[in-house]
């Protein structure tokens, strides 16, 4: 089996580093020593353990193309950059026939899908790469489609906690809002409680201190109109490994679809899960 060439964009960010470490130990992949980085990053090189990468700022993106073998298959880009870069990066990937897995949340998601659909390449785009959480979302989507209005009149609270460096509201939490809306609850993404204060995380939520710099805790609480019934759904993730594992499975899935001739196609992590069943 030929190793899949990949470029992990977003170094020196924590999520990109986690993916690099996972990919380096996985024989399915071959890491290219390049990474798109943010405009504020001054260094030109960055090491992850024994691996060294050339960092390429947004205004120099074409340098990345010079490092790709034109005779080989295009590498699959893994994007863990910044929400502000989501759409411009996707346009760059599509314009240069670079398939990609978009793990970065934020940006204009409809525009993101459209640019792929109008291109000759393909992508996996998801607000969450953890397969088990995606499976939970699928269960909630099933409930929303098959039992509309089941929670009509209930009061909903959504609280999500991530490390202080996460700029945007959780894409997973925002996706869940749509399902609860279909189940009869009037709630908007602006009502999501976003926690980024390490003191609150440590003292009130009891996030273990080693994971204050990397966690994703979500709680969805539903209370009946007379307050006699409460439902609570919780998924707490410490660290980033589960996201990296799902990301690399998404890359493997996308590589198989590209080998079948996929183009102009947007896949989700649900597609990745179904293919594994």
Q: Which residues have a catalytic role annotated?
A: 162, 166
Nearest to 128 by CA among 4, 277, 246, 1: 246
Q: Which long-range contacts (CB under 8 A, 24 or more apart) does 39-42 make?
A: 41/12
Q: Which residues contact 33 (CB under 8 A, 6 or more apart)?
A: 51, 52, 53, 54
Q: How far apart are CA 35 and CA 8, in angstroms?
A: 6
Contact 67, 57 (CB under 8 A): no
Q: Which residues contact 2 (CB under 8 A, 6 or more apart)?
A: none
In degrees to the nearest 10, what's the CA dihedral of 47, 245, 97, 69? Answer: 50
């Amino acid at each position: 089996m030929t190793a899949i060439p990949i470029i992990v964009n977003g170094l020196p960010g924590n999520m990109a580093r986690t993916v690099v470490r996972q990919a380096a130990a996985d024989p399915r992949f071959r890491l290219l020593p390049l990474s798109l980085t943010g405009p504020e990053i001054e260094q030109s090189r960055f090491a992850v353990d024994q691996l060294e990468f050339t960092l390429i700022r947004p205004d120099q993106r074409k340098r990345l193309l010079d490092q790709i073998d034109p005779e080989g298959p295009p590498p699959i880009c893994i994007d863990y950059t910044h929400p502000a870069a989501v759409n411009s990066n996707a346009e760059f990937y599509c314009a240069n026939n670079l398939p990609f897995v978009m793990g970065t949340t934020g940006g204009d998601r409809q525009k993101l899908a459209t640019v792929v659909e109008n291109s000759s390449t393909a992508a996996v785009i998801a607000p969450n790469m953890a397969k088990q959480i995606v499976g939970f979302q699928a269960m909630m989507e099933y409930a929303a489609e098959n039992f509309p209005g089941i929670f009509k009149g209930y009061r909903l609270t959504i609280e999500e906690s991530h490390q202080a460096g996460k700029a945007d509201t959780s894409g997973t939490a925002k996706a869940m809002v749509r399902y609860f809306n279909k189940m009869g609850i009037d709630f908007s993404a602006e009502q999501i409680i976003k926690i980024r204060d390490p003191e609150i995380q440590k003292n009130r939520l009891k996030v273990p201190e080693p994971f204050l710099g990397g966690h994703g805790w979500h709680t969805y609480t539903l209370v009946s109109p007379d307050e006699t019934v409460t439902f609570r759904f919780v998924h707490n993730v410490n660290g980033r490994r589960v996201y990296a594992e799902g990301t690399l499975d998404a890359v493997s899935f996308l590589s198989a679809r590209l080998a079948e001739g996929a183009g102009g196609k947007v896949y989700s992590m649900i597609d990745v899960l179904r293919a594994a069943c």
